Amino acid sequence: MKKAGIIRCQQTEDICPGTTDFKFAQLGKGAFAETGPVEIAAFVSCGGCPGKRAVIRAEEMVSRGVEVIALASCIKNGNPLCFPCPHADAMKAAIVKKVGDKVKILDYTH
């Protein structure tokens, strides 16, 4: 089973415990259908707008054995705030540039 890390929006931390992210990862559903079930080895926030800390956090996850990094649905889809991150594409591009050749990057979780 692959190890995965999830990066989520810092603004959702106080309202979302991430249970659906964990459930979909465990079952290999949603974006994890590409990888099959994964073990969540890291669950961090982007560090706050504009998400610059996500890159160094992704790099640290990789150094600790993470093989898949998913941007949580709160970033790309705006769940549960109904407001997608305006920095999502730039954040993902920076993560891909830094670690994309070492791990699979998923755009969402559920």
pLDDT tens digits in sequence order for the chain, 110 residues long: 999 999 999 998 888 999 999 999 999 999 999 999 999 999 999 999 999 999 999 999 999 999 999 999 999 888 877 889 999 999 999 999 999 899 999 999 99
What's this model's pTM, rounded to 2 decimal places? 0.95
pLDDT of residue 50: 95
Kindly provide the residue ranges of all beta strands, DSSP E only, lying in the chain, ordered along the sequence.
2-8, 38-45, 68-71, 104-106
Residues 39, 37: Cα–Cα separation, whole Å: 7
Q: What is the pLDDT of residue 14?
A: 84
CATH number, domain at 97?
A: 3.40.50.2300
- What is the number of domains present in the chain? 1
Q: What is the helix (H) or strand (E) element at residue 104, kind and residue range? A: strand 104-106
Residue 39 lies in domain: 2-106
